[in-house]
């Protein structure tokens, strides 16, 4: 028993000593694991703070939340990690913090790239949406329908905002507003067609000596509402109201049914005619038209009339996609193909680089073809599709004038027959007109059909041509600064450039302006060439779509023209 007690006593005596040893061992481990160098920890902390700050900035300037999600997840994952447990080895922790700083820095670079690409993408989208808005507004102005002053003011405001925009949220807001305005102008055309059909019906009923007093009052009220509308919703509501008035007219007078139905049939026939214009097969729709006409002739009840209207509306709607495809293939494709055929048959041989170039690239998909495609995408009503047809025919006429001018050896500073034919075609024999010949690389100013002054110019290079067509002055800027929409490193990038005199002839940066960095202007300067004294990097090729002039020439043109001056490029 004594021996046993001595053993127990002996173990009990060692317990405090064991605890002391363990305590000293723990302290030794804690003091040995230093957690990496202070510099590496500080670098990791600073890299994280920089990334977090950039993430906050990206959110503030309007980078979409879904675009930031991946980077935020990676940042959170890195933030949740900890330094490895490495007693007696400080280097392991130092390596961890160095790697952490590197990963934060990589995410920072990735985020900077995302901000740049998103900003560029939204800037391009805003430009395109403003262009569609402008096209729709111009189309409605040409049709002289509705009260367009509010839309004109809105366009000027959005244009000014675009000039000041810097951040993604700015461009996104401009895009949204421009899309809403373009949608409203598109719906305006549809509602105007309904109003026209309503008015036509009233006239036909009046000619048949039917009482149209109530319908005339409704029509006058509709016109007032139409002139006061400014949103797609307002036009749509008016559209629905006019349809209801049609129904009411039928209920009040079954004898009105043939006149109302005839107006709707006429809309259907107009779209069938467009299909024929595009060279598409319209036989099935023509058969439907005959069936609809027969159904209208036999309709005697409101139910029969409603069935007729539903059928015609469905048939008109079903033609929309085919009309778009037809216009794209027949019209835009026709212009592009004709331009390429003539261009390849009349190549310009460049002795500077030994290559051959077409002279009419402005008529291809690199030039006006792209913008016609944009115009087509904004088409709503048959009148819109017809407007594309008209624009296309005008471009084909301009191309014909270019081909004719190519063979004309009249000096550039003399009146040209093609200039006069163009002004007659566009009914511009009175007033002031700037005419630009791309084959001559010349600009001529006419007043009431008489030549005032001529200049040699440099137009757009083959891949970025100037745009042929009839244009109005969109803006006059003196002075201003041009900034490139292409990123540094792109073959089309240029540094911010001061411009003294600039006349905007087409949206998305197409100007007539001074090019003080050039010495040579005239034939061949739209292709690669040696400029005898200009800036080596930027003077040896054509412009980016603008029409370049000597500074003194541009100053004179700016001082002697105004917003009413029309511009023809061919």
Position 123 in a domain: no
Residue 306 shares a structural domain with residue 382? no
In which region does residue 441 sit, left (phi positive, over 0), alpha (psi from -120 to 50) or beta (all else)?
left
Residue 396 shares a structural domain with residue 476? yes
* pLDDT value of residue 497: 95
Position 151 in a domain: no
* pLDDT value of residue 250: 62
Position 560 in a domain: yes
* pLDDT value of residue 26: 44
Q: What is the pTM of this model?
A: 0.58
Residue 310 shares a structural domain with residue 196? yes
In tens digits, the chain (570 residues) has pLDDT values of 344 444 444 445 555 554 444 444 444 444 344 567 889 899 999 999 999 999 999 999 999 999 999 999 999 999 998 878 666 667 888 889 999 999 999 999 999 999 998 998 898 888 878 878 887 887 787 677 888 889 989 988 998 898 889 999 999 999 999 999 988 998 998 899 889 888 887 887 776 667 788 889 999 999 999 999 999 999 999 999 998 887 776 666 666 667 777 878 888 998 899 888 888 889 999 999 999 999 888 887 767 877 888 888 888 888 877 876 676 667 788 899 999 999 999 999 999 999 999 999 999 999 999 988 877 777 776 667 777 878 888 999 999 999 999 999 999 999 999 999 999 999 899 999 999 999 999 999 999 999 999 999 999 999 999 999 999 888 899 999 998 888 888 889 999 999 999 999 987 889 999 999 999 999 999 999 999 988 878 899 999 999 999 999 999 999 999 988 999 999
Nearest to 434 by CA among 261, 569, 237: 569
Residue 107 structural domain: 2-118
- Quote the tokens at residue 143: 């049709």
Q: In what order do the strands lie in the sheet with 475-477?
A: 475-477, 502-506, 510-514, 547-549
* pLDDT value of residue 212: 83
Q: Of 96, 118, 140, at which residue does a domain stop?
A: 118
Position 435 in a domain: yes
Position 132 in a domain: no
Q: Of 320, 348, 370, at which residue does a domain stop?
A: 320
Residue 469: what are its φ and ψ, rounded to 5°? Answer: 145, 180
Position 171 in a domain: no
Position 153 in a domain: no
The position carrying tokens 């790239």 is: 113
For the chain, the domain total comes to 3
* pLDDT value of residue 321: 74
Position 489 in a domain: yes
Q: Of 70, 98, 118, at which residue does a domain stop?
A: 118
* pLDDT value of residue 275: 87
Residue 288 shares a structural domain with residue 334? no
In sequence order, the β-bridge partners of residue 208 are: none
* pLDDT value of residue 479: 93
Q: State the maximum Cα–Cα separation within the chain, in Å, rounded to a whole number.
A: 139
* pLDDT value of residue 33: 43
14-66, pLDDT tens digit by residue? 555 544 444 444 444 443 445 678 898 999 999 999 999 999 999 999 999 99
CATH number at residue 414: 2.40.440.10
* pLDDT value of residue 17: 54
Residue 409 shares a structural domain with residue 298? no
Residue 225 shares a structural domain with residue 104? no
Helix (H) or strand (E) holding 477: strand 475-477
* pLDDT value of residue 189: 87
Residue 288 shares a structural domain with residue 381? no
What CA–CA distance (Å, rounded) separates 440 from 426?
Answer: 21
Tallying the residues shown for the chain, one arrives at 570
Residue 302 shares a structural domain with residue 375? no
Residues 506, 467: contact at Cβ < 8 Å?
yes
What CA–CA distance (Å, rounded) separates 449 from 426?
Answer: 12
Residue 402 shares a structural domain with residue 523? yes
Residue 460 shares a structural domain with residue 492? yes
Residue 333 shares a structural domain with residue 431? yes
Residue 309 shares a structural domain with residue 359? no
């Amino acid at each position: 028993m004594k021996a046993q007690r001595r053993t127990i006593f002996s173990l009990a005596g060692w317990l405090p000593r064991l605890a002391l040893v363990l305590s000293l061992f723990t302290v030794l481990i804690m003091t040995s694991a230093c957690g990496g160098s202070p510099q590496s920890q500080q670098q990791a902390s600073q890299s994280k703070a920089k990334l977090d700050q950039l993430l906050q900035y990206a959110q503030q300037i309007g980078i979409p939340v879904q675009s930031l999600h991946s980077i935020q997840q990676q940042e959170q994952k890195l933030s949740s990690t900890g330094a490895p447990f490495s007693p007696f080895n400080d280097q392991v922790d130092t390596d961890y913090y160095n790697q952490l700083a590197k990963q934060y820095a990589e995410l920072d670079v990735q985020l900077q790239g995302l901000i740049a690409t998103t900003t560029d993408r939204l800037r391009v989208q805003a430009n395109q949406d403003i262009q569609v808005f402008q096209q729709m507004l111009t189309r409605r102005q040409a049709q002289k329908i509705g009260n367009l002053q509010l839309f004109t003011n809105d366009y000027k405001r959005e244009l000014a905002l675009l000039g000041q925009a810097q951040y993604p949220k700015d461009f996104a807001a401009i895009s949204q507003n421009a899309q809403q305005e373009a949608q409203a102008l598109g719906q305006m055309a549809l509602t105007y067609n309904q109003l026209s059909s309503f008015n036509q019906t009233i006239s036909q009923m009046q000619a048949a000596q039917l009482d149209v007093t109530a319908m005339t009052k409704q029509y006058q009220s509709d016109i007032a509402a139409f002139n006061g509308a400014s949103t797609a919703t307002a036009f749509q509501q008016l559209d629905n109201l006019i349809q209801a008035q049609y129904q009411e007219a039928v209920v009040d007078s079954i004898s009105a049914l043939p006149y109302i139905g005839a107006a709707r049939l006429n809309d259907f026939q107009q779209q069938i005619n467009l299909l024929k214009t595009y060279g598409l097969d319209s036989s099935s729709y023509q058969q439907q038209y005959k069936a609809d006409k027969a159904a209208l002739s036999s309709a005697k009840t409101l139910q029969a009339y409603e069935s007729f209207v539903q059928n015609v509306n469905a048939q008109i709607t079903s033609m929309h996609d085919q009309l778009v495809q037809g216009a794209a293939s027949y019209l835009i494709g026709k212009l592009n193909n004709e331009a390429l055929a003539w261009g390849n048959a009349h190549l310009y041989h460049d002795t500077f680089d030994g290559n051959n170039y077409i002279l009419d690239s402005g008529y291809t998909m690199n030039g006006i073809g792209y913008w016609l495609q944009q115009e087509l995408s904004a088409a709503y009503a048959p009148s819109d599709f017809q407007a594309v047809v008209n624009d296309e025919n005008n471009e084909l006429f301009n191309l014909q004038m270019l081909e004719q001018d190519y063979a004309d050896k009249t000096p550039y500073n003399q009146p040209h027959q093609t200039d006069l034919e163009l002004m007659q075609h566009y009914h511009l024999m009175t007033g002031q007109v700037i005419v630009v010949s791309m084959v001559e690389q010349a600009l001529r100013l006419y007043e009431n059909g008489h030549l005032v002054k001529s200049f040699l110019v440099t137009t757009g290079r083959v891949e970025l041509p100037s745009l042929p067509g009839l244009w109005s002055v969109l803006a006059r800027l003196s002075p201003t600064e041009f900034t490139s929409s292409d990123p540094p490193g792109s073959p089309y990038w240029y540094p911010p450039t001061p411009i003294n005199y600039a006349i905007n002839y087409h949206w998305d940066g197409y100007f007539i302006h001074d090019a003080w960095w050039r010495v040579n202007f005239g034939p061949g300067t739209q292709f690669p060439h040696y400029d005898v004294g200009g800036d080596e990097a930027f003077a040896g090729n054509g412009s980016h779509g603008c029409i370049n002039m000597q500074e003194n020439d541009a100053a004179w043109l700016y001082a002697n023209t105004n917003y009413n001056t029309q511009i023809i490029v061919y």
